[in-house]
Chains A and B, each alone.
Chain A
Amino acid sequence: AQSVTQPDIHITVSEGASLELRCNYSYGATPYLFWYVQSPGQGLQLLLKYFSGDTLVQGIKGFEAEFKRSQSSFNLRKPSVHWSDAAEYFCAVKFSGSARQLTFGSGTQLTVLP
């Protein structure tokens, strides 16, 4: 079955520390992959996306993600976290041929300590 998993429900890091948020998917082919950020009470903002090509993708706000086919993963990274990065992060997947727009992971809540 097609699925998206974000193993970490909540992550806490100190400001200035590096960050990695995990995302795994289950699918027989390569889907389209997205990372979104949601601030409290707000909609979703696209951070980055992967369709094909270079497996290391650069996004907005200093984020990047790496697609690893062998691990069926698309982990989000940032070398130095800022307090304003505290938010909920969602990995989303578009499975080819699916009638649905996007399948979302359960989300990871990021807390940034001063």
Chain B
Amino acid sequence: GAVVSQHPSRVICKSGTSVKIECRSLDFQATTMFWYRQFPKQSLMLMATSNEGSKATYEQGVEKDKFLINHASLTLSTLTVTSAHPEDSSFYICSARDPRGGTEAFFGQGTRLTVV
């Protein structure tokens, strides 16, 4: 099946710094990718929809200046957490839909971000 790779799987950063998370579709081209955030013991909440070649669409309440999304190619979307604070610590997961396979979504392995 289609594979989505997310990197890094775990990152620790200092408050005030920025962290970039990559999401790659390995064997298909994804015009649309999705970024989710998951708090401990909770479900996934959609943060934004990443569109190749255009601006991302953010969900209500998500700060677009804090969570910068770039979808520069058909196989790569990046999420940059800018000026990170401890409250940004969370599990971030990306997903992509293989346009050849209908509405099934494939998920990356997730990134555990800890801001100290």
**A63 interface residue per 8 A CB criterion:** no
Q: Does A17 reach chain B (CB closer than 8 Å)?
A: no
Q: Range of interface residues on chain A? A: 20 to 34
From DSSP, what is the main secondary structure of chain B's interface residues? strand
27 sampled A-B residue pairs with Cβ under 8 A: A32-B103, A34-B104, A34-B105, A36-B107, A41-B112, A43-B107, A43-B110, A44-B44, A44-B93, A45-B107, A46-B104, A46-B106, A49-B104, A51-B102, A51-B103, A90-B44, A100-B46, A101-B97, A101-B105, A102-B46, A102-B105, A104-B44, A105-B43, A106-B42, A106-B43, A107-B42, A109-B41
**Size range of the chain B interface in the assembly:** 20 to 34
Q: Complex Cα distance A106/B46, Å?
A: 13
Whether a CB of chain B sits under 8 angstroms from the CB of A22 is no
Q: How far is the CA of A32 from the CA of B105 in the complex (A)?
A: 11
Residues of B within 8 A of A44 (CB): 44, 93, 95, 107
B-chain residues with CB within 8 Å of residue A104 when the two chains form the complex: 43-44
